[in-house]
Structures are given as C-alpha cells and as structure tokens.
Amino acid sequence: MDAIKSPAVAALETASPRSETPEVTALVERAKTGDAEAFGDLMRLYERRIVAIGMQMGLTVDDALDACQDAFIKVFKYIGRYRSGESFYRWLYRIAIHAVYDHLRWSRPPGVISMEGEGGVQAMQLREAGLPLDARVEAEDLTRKLLGGLDCLSRQERIVFVLRDLQEMSSEEIGTVLHLSQVTVRRHCTSARQKLRKRLFPTDH
C-alpha cells in the first residue's frame, strides 16, 4: 500500500473521497477500457479509506486488508458495469462494505483499534490543517477513545455509526448500501451515539 503515487493520485488525495472530479472520472473511464495503470491509481486513491472502514466496523488489520483486496478484485471484475454519470464513490463503497460484511461473518474478534487506520488519516488532516499542537493532541486522543469504545455497540449499530459519523455518509446513502430504511438507519445511529456517550462520558449520567 506504499507504492509510488502518480501525480494524479497525489493531487486527488487532498480532496474528499466523494469528490466526483474530472480527474477521478477520467481514471474510471480509462480503467473501464482495461487501463491497468488507471486502475492502480484508483486503488491507491481509495484503499486506505476502505481498510479504515473495515477496521472501524470490527475487523483486524489483516482481515481489513483482505477485505479491501477482495473488494478491488470485484471492482476490477465488474467495473465494465459501472454506469458513467453514477457516483463512483457510492458504487465502490457498496462493493467494499459488502466485502467487509463477508469477512465479518468469520473474522476473529477485533483487537485494539490502531491509529494506523482512519485515526491516522484524521491525524494527518489535523497536521495539515495547521492546528496548534495542544489542539491536535486533544483531537487525536478523542479519536483514539472513540475508536476504542466501538466494541460496546452491536454489529449493526457499529456499522451504521461508522458510515454515518466517521465516513459522513447520509442516512439515505447508508440505507441504499445496507438495504435498510432511513428510519432504521437513524434508530441504529441514535442508539449507537447514546451507548458511546455513556461509555466515553460516564460521569455525565
């Protein structure tokens, strides 16, 4: 996952993964024609975030890496079916989340969630934002506590919370990906937030 990045990927990584930029669209269209270099750039653009989602949902690092690999195998196989004009982000994440689901069925219990996952991405973003050191330390500590507290949630609550609050997907997007009603998504999210609040701030109750 540390392969040399192309200039296109280096530029795109500073943008939101949801961004349907002309550069992303061009990479996808090239990948659809069998361009291996373009497909490799798409992998390098999204793989870290997919691994982070797997870890947040409860996979170990190794299992999250395996799920990411499985997801991109399916992407490679079916990218010809991707319809131009559709959100590539949503199309890719549906495949990735289903791959994570498959691994969750037989994976080992999650260990301590590492800051190498999404926390590491957030920490990098904090440094790039130029925040004072004390603010960065406080934010990174809160991220660590939050990720460490996810084990108090049921599997469905954890998945919905990760997608809604950490990956910033809308209730509609989550419902589409997980085949749940928006009411059910909001119910799981509310329950997850309440449990996490009790876990992280017990003196407030």
Rg (CA), the chain: 17
Structure tokens at 51: 């691994």
Which residues does 28 contact at the CB level (< 8 Å), separation at least 6?
38, 42, 79, 82, 84, 88
Asked if residue 68 has pLDDT above 90, the reply is: yes
In sequence order, what are the residues at sequence separation of 6 or more whose Cβ sits closer than 8 angstroms to the Cβ of residue 184?
Answer: 175
66 and 141, same domain (yes or no):
no
Identify which of 55, 58, 52, 43 has the alpha carbon closest to the alpha carbon of residue 5.
43
Q: What is the CATH number of the domain that holds 135?
A: 1.10.10.10
In a domain, residue 151? The reply is yes
Which of residues 110, 136, 157 is at a domain's end? Answer: 110
Same domain assignment for residues 33 and 1: yes
Domain that holds residue 181: 125-199
Q: Is there a domain that residue 205 lies in?
A: no
Whether residue 8 sits in one domain with residue 104: yes
Which range, of 78-87, 138-147, 157-166, 178-187, averages the lowest pLDDT? 138-147
pLDDT, tens digit (0-9, with 9 covering 90-100), for 78-103? 998 998 888 888 889 889 988 987 88
End-of-domain residue from the set 57, 81, 110 = 110
Residue 75: give its domain's CATH number: 1.10.1740.10
| Rounded distance between C-alpha atoms, residue 51 and residue 184, angstroms | 26
Overall domain count for the chain: 2
Q: Are residues 18 and 89 in the same domain?
A: yes
